[in-house]
Amino acid sequence: MNTLTASNFYFPGQKSVYKGKVRDVYTLDNDLLVMIVTDRLSAFDVVMPKGIPYKGQILNQLATKMMKATEDIVPNWLQATPDPNVAIGKRCEPFKVEMVIRGYLTGHAAREYKAGKRKLCGVSMPEGMEENEAFAVPIITPTTKADSGEHDQDISREEILERRLVSEVDYNTLEYYTRQLFARGTELANNNGLILVDTKYEFGKTQEGEIVLIDEIHTPDSSRYFYAEGYLERLANREPQKQLSKEFVRQWLIQNGFQGKEGQQIPEMSDEYVNSVSERYIELYEQITGDQFIKADISNIQQRIERNVLEYLAQI
């Protein structure tokens, strides 16, 4: 399988490289960032041993579409996507928290709820809720933005302000943007027969002090989607929802005894399973955008990326 699981480029004016769980970010002169979206698969903050064909292309193209569909709400960092796996834009100083917003009691929130907890990140969750049921109003449950190799941690608004991770003025702005973006994402999903269940947004500040949206939005790595058709029937029957997100990977790992905890072994990922994950990512792309996914040439991804990025940089 020809997948992009690592990058090792040297672009003109390159100053530094940051390699995250999925993205490799190259900083160039003039605070220009070249973000390479790899095919790495991360779950429970652990990178899986095999890449997923076309995953990086899917995430990058979907994030680009969603950035353009929300730029009237909040400005974003993106300037160009010269390659299916590449986004280029201005460097920003990231906030040290990720803004997670949940419309439904699902995933991590449901697991905490089942364990008897009725507060998540300082936000109360009502008694008597069923898994996958909608909250009356979406709840914001931030996490810390972990360094490489560390786990993101739930954190409350009060603790964020107490630790001065974000100023109160800026945090209020982040909450406002988060709710506006989630409302737009919900609308876009509904238009294509999906429910945007929960998602996360990351923000940064430009050198001029403007808050902008960074990283990815409304992708299967950062979001959870249910199919709208049959949602209420499945909820009434307490059946699992039909969903498009990375949660199916998490559930497969849990069933195979892995939740990212110390001493646990990552289960073997067969080629058949890897291809099934790729197909699910393609399915989500086509469902959420309404467009057919066009597979890029993956015979030599590294060479293709280098050529396209160099051509773009030569023009600016």
Give per-10-residue mean pLDDT for the chain (316 aa): 90 94 93 95 90 95 95 96 96 94 96 96 96 98 75 91 96 98 96 95 94 91 92 96 82 92 92 92 89 94 97 94
pLDDT, tens only, 10-37? 999 999 999 988 999 999 998 899 999 9
What's the pLDDT score for residue 150? 58
Helix (H) or strand (E) segment spanning residue 223: strand 223-227
What's the pLDDT score for residue 283? 87
pLDDT, tens only, 36-89? 999 999 988 899 999 999 999 999 999 999 999 999 999 999 999 999 999 999
Identify which of 208, 191, 209, 189 has the alpha carbon closest to the alpha carbon of residue 199. 189
pTM equals: 0.86
What's the pLDDT score for residue 160? 97
Calpha distance 169→211 (Å, rounded): 11
What's the pLDDT score for residue 51? 95
CA dihedral 265, 268, 273, 277 (to 10 degrees): 30
Q: Between β-strands 78-83 and 119-120, what pairing exists: parallel, antiparallel or unpaired?
A: unpaired
CATH superfamily of 94-248: ATP-grasp fold, B domain (3.30.470.20)
What's the pLDDT score for residue 143? 95
> Within 13 A of 129's CA, how many CA atoms are on the CB side?
23
What's the pLDDT score for residue 221? 80
What's the pLDDT score for residue 280? 87
What's the pLDDT score for residue 316? 87
CA dihedral 160, 165, 169, 174 (to 10 degrees): -80
Which structure tokens are listed for 158? Answer: 């009060």
Contacting residues for 53 by C-beta, under 8 A, at least 6 apart: 1, 2, 3, 39, 274, 275, 278, 298
